[in-house]
């Protein structure tokens, strides 16, 4: 059997368990699943805790903005919002500048749920990172922030647009 050329050998696919893309996806999936199990006793679904988390971090966003953050259709977000409004977890307030838009805000009851979710999330992170020392946690966080910023920057790129013509590009 012929040996692969050096070019082929250097581009051989890595084992899935050691490939950084798979690792990031697996860790994110395992974190979500573990969090789901921990908040289940509170009667929360993943969709609900995602909405609570987004509205806690971004009070006053519109239904369309929430749908975009959750990567769901506006109608799907609307149904989630309706259910959570009936549960007295969020309110819709008219946008002062555009009466067609409602802004979303958590109620005091939902903020209390959010506080409890935050404590559960902190416990999960502590458990998940128990094998890392403080310096390793800080280094991992720094590296992940840099990768995230790079990906966000890449998302702003449009085909056929020179780097200097992109918003935020250095002159």
Predicted local confidence at residue 155, as pLDDT: 83
Dist CA 5 CA 10 (whole Å): 9
Residue 81 pLDDT level (bands cut at 50, 70, 90): very high
Interval 41-75: pLDDT, tens:
888 888 889 999 999 999 999 999 999 999 999 99
CB-based contacts of 69: which residues, under 8 Å, 6+ apart? 54, 58, 61
Q: Record the pTM.
A: 0.68
pLDDT bucket at 15, cuts 50 / 70 / 90:
low
DSSP 109-155: HHHHHHHHHHHHHHHHHHHHTTTS-HHHHHHHHHHHHHHHHHHHHHH
| pLDDT category of residue 1 using cuts at 50, 70 and 90 | low
């Amino acid at each position: 059997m012929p040996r692969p050329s050096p070019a082929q050998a250097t581009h051989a696919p890595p084992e899935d368990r050691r490939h950084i893309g798979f690792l990031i996806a697996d860790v994110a999936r395992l974190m979500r699943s573990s969090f789901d199990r921990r908040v289940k006793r509170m009667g929360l679904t993943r969709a609900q805790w995602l909405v609570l988390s987004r509205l806690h971090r971004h009070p006053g966003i519109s239904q369309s903005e929430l749908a975009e953050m959750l990567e769901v259709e506006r109608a799907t977000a609307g149904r989630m919002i309706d259910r959570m409004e009936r549960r007295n977890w969020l309110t819709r307030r008219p946008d002062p500048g555009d009466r067609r838009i409602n802004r979303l805000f958590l109620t005091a009851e939902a903020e209390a749920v959010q506080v409890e979710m935050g404590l559960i999330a902190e416990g999960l992170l502590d458990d998940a990172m128990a094998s890392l020392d403080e310096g390793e946690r800080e280094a991992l966080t720094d590296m992940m922030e840099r990768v995230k910023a790079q990906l966000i920057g890449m998302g702003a790129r449009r085909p056929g647009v020179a780097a200097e013509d992109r918003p935020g590009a250095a002159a």
